[in-house]
Structure 1
Amino acid sequence: MSEESLEGLESVRLEKLRKIESLGLDPWGQRFDDHKPIADVRGLPMPETPEGETPAPGPAVRVAGRIMLKRGQGKVHFIELRDWTGRIQIFVGKNQVGEAGWALASELDYGDRIGVDGTLGFTKTGELTVFATSLTFLGKSLAPPPEKWHGLTDLEQRYRQRYVDLYSNPESLETFLSRSKILAAFRKIMGEKGFVEVETPTMQSIAGGAAARPFVTHHNTLDIDLFMRIAPELYLKRLLVGGMERVFEIARVFRNEGISPKHNPEFTMMEAYQAYGDYHSMMDLTEALICGAIDAIGGGYERPWGDVTVDFTPPWPRKTYYDLFREHAGVDPTDHEALFAKAESLGIKTAGKDPDVVISDVFEEVVEDSLIGPIFVIDYPAAICPLTKRKASNPAVAERFELFVRGMELANAYTELNDPMLQEDLFRNQLAGQKEEDSMAKMDDDFVRALKHGMPPAGGLGIGMDRLCMLLLNRSSIRDVVLFPLMRPQS
């Protein structure tokens, strides 16, 4: 629609606003107490009517919402009213609402907000309807809404104008209400299992807890650069040292990296740490959390994902990293000559790389996409897991798992490393050769100091909440489950 057309429509709506003001009404609404969610109204019991008799009137009701459709027939208007629980038809008759109500009804536009008092009943065609006895104006919409039958369909505009997307596309609203249920289920389950929710710094003097490039900001008063957190991990472990034995945080984290259907620079993750647990404890916890989230949103454990179905019925299989590597890459990872040849055949550069790093590169290239899942991939090469405890029976293997579903990593967990001397050595090895702008390019001496005070053996877990919501709600892009995804500014 051209700017001239938009301006013309807005001027018409502005004129209606003036007419509403002339009726002595506040065009921006007022308090409207005691209205019921439309879904609750639709569920009210109706009196039974013997066949052939005139239907008895139903209960008196009060509802409020946005006008999504309006059509007139003489001295009658039919309005579709929608709130965040559903929709219902409103019958507005001149004789029923009086002259003042009818004057208001005549000025109403698609997108306006109204409150309705009336009686619940059925039309001759059998549609459940509120027969209005009075109308209350609750707010004018000056901007013309999307085409009434199709909503806001342009994907980029849906992301940029989420406020329009939510009211014009019911499935979008339902997605975000379901996301809220998933987060609430996580909090409920964690509380039931004895975890306490905590908050750790979003701005940190040292970026740590993950390998990622941080966003840099500056604190004027202290005149120091700070980093937006890439993970809450090292602060949560400090709490274990201090005696908080089960902690979790649902945290916004920030990584100055790419944007794709599976990545947003600002995203939500849940991290949890359990004293005296290990990565097996975290597998059990992960399964309980995700199954609990599915129970909260409904729809069962067999869930659509695009044109396939993902079966989340527990228990989920657990396979070792090396077994999956042999199965899908077709080489033994301990045979370095064959390993490097396989990597080169895939276009992966191997010069100067540790064999475990090459194994990781090949795993990402040929194994991850074949993991239908849900599946726990366990026991990773120790060289790529600097914060993870080694297996007592094989120090070359780290007690770590990642949960994969349809080739996507959803969760990452460790038996946490609590040896301060080994942790310091691993930090130094990892920092060697790091670029200054990368994460963990500076030793976190205070974290090592904290470990020297004694961190209990523990299991730690991180779950990507946005990706989980994508899968459980059958959305193809992370932007579909993030209310306000990062977008390039419009010129």
Structure 2
Amino acid sequence: MLKKITFKKEKILSNKEIFIRKNKLIQLRQKGFNFPNTFKYTKTIKTIYCLYKDHTKSDLKKINYQISIAGRIIKKRILGKASFFVIQHDNYKIQIYIKSNLFTSNYYKNYIIELDLGDIIGVKGILFKTNTLELSIYCKKIYLLTKSLRPLPDKYSGLQNKEIKYRKRYLDLLSNSNVTKIFKKRSYIISNIRSFMKKKDFLEVETPMMHPIPGGANAKPFVTYHNALNERMYLRVAPELYLKRLIVGGFDKIFEINRNFRNEGLSTRHNPEFTMMEIYMSYSHYTDMMILLEKLCRFLVKNIFNSLIIKYDKHELNFEKPIRKMTMIESILKFNKNIHISDFKNIKKTKKIAKKLNLNTKLCNSLGELIHLIFEKTTEKKIISPTFITEYPIEISPLAKKNDKFAERFEFFISGYEIANGFSELNDPEEQKKRFKIQELQKENINISKNFYYDKDYITALEHGLPPTAGLGIGIDRLIMIMTNQKNIRDVILFPILKKNII
């Protein structure tokens, strides 16, 4: 016996509308419609508003401005012998007034009125203002350019389903002007970053996205295969080792805004494909990178907000005063009243406190790794004000110079997010070789999850001489989250990684 198939009312209505629209397209094709691409607009809607929004009704009447314009129909009102459409182009909207007596009765009823929400049209007409002083186009001719076969999201409630928002970003952009603003702001922020770097005499470079050996970060790579070379390849987890090769080659100040890929978890602050900027400067120290980053933050905040004090979530972030600096241990003690300095005397005592905090210490084989684990799990999210955290354990900093017991390294936090990571680069090839070999042993014996690789060619490059150099990596997506007041990384990435389509 066949099971009775039932559909939600909304799905039935949607399928019915698609059927009606497809039938309309069949009839249009019979009359010669073939998605024309010869229509040219004379002005964008944005330009029209910039030029004419302050003109009076009488001003526009005197000008008698003939205009051609194009956009997507997002609203439609039929009022007997007149119709009002609202069309949208590049997130700007304008009203089209269509009077029936300017067209044949058959054309008006069977063509103009039958246009659907979502259709893309070209309009020729005269610019005017209504009695309510709304800038509008008095339509003389109308052209269907693209027939929309699927209905748009509801014009009042918009697109609410998060799954659909991320999966079908085009619908999200069409129905939510705020989303479009976020992504335009993203582009503007990145443009400002490039402008700042160029003003500081940094050269923008490009390095490979496919690597024979993944390196530059302790992260699990995506694996691919090159058929012609008959070799396994890896999508880059970081461009660091290639950029430092360029410093060896004689470049002085370089940066790259790049896509990286890490085959790890998904969360509100992690996407497997993400954007970073990495910066390298020869004859410099990690403290120089702290100064550069502080200047960059001030430059961006001032340019974007015209203020050095901004809000993120419920917090006020002040970039006017110098950015706070704290060591890793100082920050743990500040934000965890139940932890004391004596807890970090030796590995046994620190492991004991970590277990009290219900932390999994299985992968920690040194005091430094334990301290970092405690910091990650108990402190990071509590650092709200812009803060530099220094004195990172050398055990978790294999590419950084060592100073006393610690790495010459810092991380930058805002609102609980790690935004940037910088250090004085290790340029001693013997020491770097030794650290790579220690990592290989960890990979083979106890810690295969970290995917450490020994890059012999990088060691060879170091043996030719890397000048004293400092490096900095900035998480662009997280920085944009702060600058656009978003809580989920998916809201600042146009097409985030999602599970297999279940819709």
TM over 0.5: yes
C-alpha contact 1:118 1:132 (8 A) present in aligned 2: yes
Q: Could you tell me how far apart the structure 1 residues matched to 2:179 and 2:145 are?
A: 24
**SS of structure 2 residue aligned to 1:372:** coil
Q: Could you tell me how far apart the structure 2 residues matched to 1:217 and 1:146 are?
A: 38
C-alpha contact 2:309 2:316 (8 A) present in aligned 1: yes
* 2:400 equivalent to 1:410: no
Cα shift at 1:372: 0.8
Cα shift at 1:289: 2.9
Where does residue 23 of structure 2 map in the other structure? 15
Cα shift at 1:18: 3.5
* 2:294 equivalent to 1:287: yes
Out of 62, 74, 77, the position equivalent to 2:80 is 74
Q: Could you tell me how far apart the structure 2 residues matched to 1:366 and 1:437 are?
A: 25
* 2:460 equivalent to 1:449: yes
Where does residue 184 of structure 2 map in the other structure? 177
Alignment map for 1:45-56 (pairs within 5 Å)? 45=52, 46-48=54-56, 56=62
Where does residue 247 of structure 2 map in the other structure? 240
Cα shift at 1:206: 0.8
Alignment map for 1:359-378 (pairs within 5 Å)? 359-378=371-390
Where does residue 333 of structure 2 map in the other structure? 326
* 2:434 equivalent to 1:425: yes
C-alpha contact 2:236 2:261 (8 A) present in aligned 1: yes
C-alpha contact 1:57 1:121 (8 A) present in aligned 2: no
Out of 152, 158, 164, the position equivalent to 1:151 is 158
Q: Could you tell me how far apart the structure 1 residues matched to 2:304 and 2:104 are?
A: 44
Out of 58, 62, 71, the position equivalent to 1:65 is 71
CA deviation digits over 1:348-379, x for unaligned, max 9? 35577311111111111222122112111123
Out of 97, 103, 110, the position equivalent to 1:91 is 97
Unaligned runs of 5+ in 2: 1-8
**SS of structure 2 residue aligned to 1:248:** strand
C-alpha contact 1:383 1:396 (8 A) present in aligned 2: no
Cα shift at 1:202: 1.2
* 2:118 equivalent to 1:111: yes
Q: Which amino acid aligns with 1:479?
A: R
C-alpha contact 1:41 1:61 (8 A) present in aligned 2: no
Q: Could you tell me how far apart the structure 1 residues matched to 2:494 and 2:401 are?
A: 37
Q: Could you tell me how far apart the structure 2 residues matched to 1:165 and 1:35 are?
A: 28
C-alpha contact 1:210 1:439 (8 A) present in aligned 2: no
Where does residue 395 of structure 2 map in the other structure? 383
Where does residue 484 of structure 2 map in the other structure? 473
Cα shift at 1:156: 0.3
CA deviation digits over 1:438-482, x for unaligned, max 9? 455331010011001111111111111111111211112111111
Q: Could you tell me how far apart the structure 1 residues matched to 2:354 and 2:13 are?
A: 58
Q: Which amino acid aligns with 2:142?
A: L
C-alpha contact 1:209 1:231 (8 A) present in aligned 2: yes
Q: Which amino acid aligns with 1:344?
A: K
Structure 1's 34 and 293: CA in aligned 2 closer, same or farther, altered over 3 A?
farther
C-alpha contact 1:182 1:296 (8 A) present in aligned 2: no
Q: Could you tell me how far apart the structure 1 residues matched to 2:118 and 2:21 are?
A: 11
Cα shift at 1:35: 3.4
**SS of structure 2 residue aligned to 1:136:** strand
C-alpha contact 2:442 2:448 (8 A) present in aligned 1: no
Cα shift at 1:34: 4.3
Cα shift at 1:98: 6.5
Out of 378, 395, 405, the position equivalent to 1:396 is 405
* 2:321 equivalent to 1:335: no
Q: Which amino acid aligns with 1:222?
A: L
Alignment map for 1:217-296 (pairs within 5 Å)? 217-296=224-303
C-alpha contact 1:271 1:463 (8 A) present in aligned 2: yes
CA deviation digits over 1:362-418, x for unaligned, max 9? 111222122112111123222221111123xxx212111111011110111111111
Cα shift at 1:297: 3.9
Unaligned runs of 5+ in 1: none
Structure 1's 292 and 433: CA in aligned 2 closer, same or farther, altered over 3 A?
same
Q: Which amino acid aligns with 2:420?
A: A
Q: Which amino acid aligns with 1:417?
A: L
**SS of structure 1 residue aligned to 2:51:** coil
Q: Could you tell me how far apart the structure 1 residues matched to 2:370 and 2:164 are?
A: 42
* 2:316 equivalent to 1:316: no
CA deviation digits over 1:224-251, x for unaligned, max 9? 2111111111011000000111221111
Alignment map for 1:34-49 (pairs within 5 Å)? 34-45=41-52, 46-48=54-56
Percent identity at matched positions?
A: 38
Aligned length: 485
C-alpha contact 2:344 2:371 (8 A) present in aligned 1: no
Cα shift at 1:2: 5.2
Cα shift at 1:290: 3.2
Q: Could you tell me how far apart the structure 2 residues matched to 1:218 and 1:373 are?
A: 44
C-alpha contact 1:369 1:406 (8 A) present in aligned 2: yes
Structure 1's 311 and 32: CA in aligned 2 closer, same or farther, altered over 3 A?
farther
Q: Could you tell me how far apart the structure 2 residues matched to 1:356 and 1:295 are?
A: 38
Cα shift at 1:96: 4.6
